[in-house]
Chains A and B, each alone.
Chain A
Amino acid sequence: MREVAVVSFAQSPCVPADREHDMAEILLPVLRRALDSCGLTRDEIGFVASGSHDFYEGRTFSSIESLDAVGAWPPIRQSHVEMDAAWAFAEAWTWLQTSKIKTSVVYAVGRSSLVSDLDQVLPAQLDPYLLAPLRPHRHALAGLQAAAMVDAGLTSERQMAEVVSRCLATAAANPNALRGGVRTGKENDAPFVASPLRAHDVAPPGDAAAVIVLAAGDAARRPTGRPAWVRGLDHRMETHYPGARDLTRSISVGLAAARAAEQAGFGAADVDVAELHTEYSHQEPLLVAALGLEKTVINPSGGPLAGHPATATGLIRIGEAARQIMDGTAERALAHATNGPALQHNLICLMAGEPR
């Protein structure tokens, strides 16, 4: 396989609602920072991949607006996924594996705030015949998963609260986090939003852009810093109907991790740090068990529980995990991203300070 590395990562602070900027205006300063920090110009970029979702924007082909920030004239090689931009990262990585292109930009414009009522929109991602007509509450499927986990003894409301406390404590040092800091300890007195989930168990939606620059081979070996080599990447999807799944475990995470480990030469349990796409607190113990991360540092950025710009959240996990390698904190890192309800579709990316 070709040696490919993350050479730069930048994101804008996650804010509850950006009412000033269009997609291109949110993206442009972040894109500039990402390119400047690795010494590349936009003319040197061979491929551009992005992820966002019309259902969050309320417009068809909304992603085209963001291309204004890329400089897409004369026309460039470009692709977009209507899902989390972690999958745009997967596409860019695949392009670098199968072409002569040397560099790629992957970006996300995550806008959770434009939807007036997520309960109107999120059911539209479900099976249109059997589930969407029921218009489940936005957290209902996650609540079913959390309840099944508590019932199976795989987590508890107390452990879930501890996950939130730990994430928000480390998020205090993350300038891009939407929320963070010390907690009162009385959060478990709060009412349920979908039992056993309380408001604090849910990743707070927000707006942010994120950009990752990928480079292959010698293009990645620059004097500007230590690259985070992408050693393995795989993603797997489970059935559309959540009732047909065992919600307390994740077969897709296990399969993706096994395939990524085959490519990487090391497994999930061997990493120093993991950034997990946990939109709900109970998903951390589920993913830790599926990946064997019991002794690993989890979500030092604070993770999605500290800020969830939908469709950027997964790409930010890859960026944050890569940052841990690029700044020398970690030798090996894992990033996880998810799409769909109750961890339906999962991506695992293994990175290291050395190429294979």
Chain B
Amino acid sequence: MTLPEPVETMASPLRMEYTFVAGTGRSVFLRGLARRQLLARRCPGCRMVYAPAPAFCSGCLLPTGPPFALSGRGEVATFCVVNFPFPGQVHQPPYVVAHIRLDGADTRLQHLVREIAPELVRIGLPVEPVWVDDAELDTSTTSIRWFRPIREPIGPADA
């Protein structure tokens, strides 16, 4: 006797739309991106510099100080190379996703590192943002196309 064929698949597509509320704190950072600025804020209690900054320090619960612009330069704090394809992928693998420690900030910003072969990226690599054209600027991290190595002379890489 054979068992009936079990049902193995059924289509049930879900579509859900939401309003995203960034909050008063992170909205400051997002608005800065639309002006080509990376804005940071300092906790008056522990002196930690957040970028992006919440409205208040998550350690001290004190309101973070007034926003100030960072240079945008930083260095790769850690990174990985994305090698596999997945649905919705924007960039052609392999490409580098990195945590970037912006000069003057104590937090790390996640973004892409391009204009360098993935195998040459290393922790400590100095990088700078590549901003989109004016028409594409938005209250979004996509206002930065990616980060790239700083091209000016920086001394021997393996010093």
Contact = CB atoms under 8 A, between A and B. Distances in A.
Of the four ranges (under 10, 10 to 19, 20 to 34, 35 or more), the interface on chain B belongs to 20 to 34
Contact of B16 (A24, A71, A115): A115
Interface in B1-29: 10, 12, 14-26
8 contacts: A22-B55, A25-B23, A68-B54, A71-B58, A71-B61, A114-B18, A128-B12, A133-B12
A72 B17 contact: no
Contacts, number: 76
A124 interface: yes
A58 B59 contact: no
Interface of B is mostly: loop
The 3 A-B residue pairs whose C-beta atoms are closest, nearest first, are A22-B23, A58-B18, A68-B58
Nearest to A21: B23
Interface in B32-91: 54-56, 58-61
A72 B60 CA distance: 10
A73 B60 CA distance: 9
Contacts of A195: none
Contacts of B17: 115-117, 120
A18 interface: yes
Contact of A24 (B18, B23, B60): B23
A67 B12 contact: no
B20 A121 contact: no
Interface residues of A, number: 32
Contacts of A68: 54, 56, 58
Contacts of A141: none
Q: Which of B14, B21, B22, B55 is the most central at the interface, judged by chain A CB atoms within 10 Å of its CB?
A: B21
A114 B23 CA distance: 13
A71 B59 contact: yes
B21 A21 contact: yes
Interface string A14-29: 0001111111110010
A25 B18 contact: no
A18 B24 CA distance: 11
Nearest to B56: A28
A303 B10 CA distance: 40
Interface in A1-35: 17-25, 28
B55 A24 contact: yes
Contacts of A21: 21, 23-24
Contact of B18 (A22, A69, A115, A128): A115
Interface in B132-149: none
A28 B20 CA distance: 19
A132 interface: yes
B16 A58 contact: yes
A133 B10 CA distance: 9
B37 to A, nearest CB: 21
B103 to A, nearest CB: 24
Contacts of B54: 22, 24, 68
A33 B16 CA distance: 35
A113 interface: yes
A117 B26 CA distance: 25
Interface string A53-93: 00101100000000111011100000000000000000000
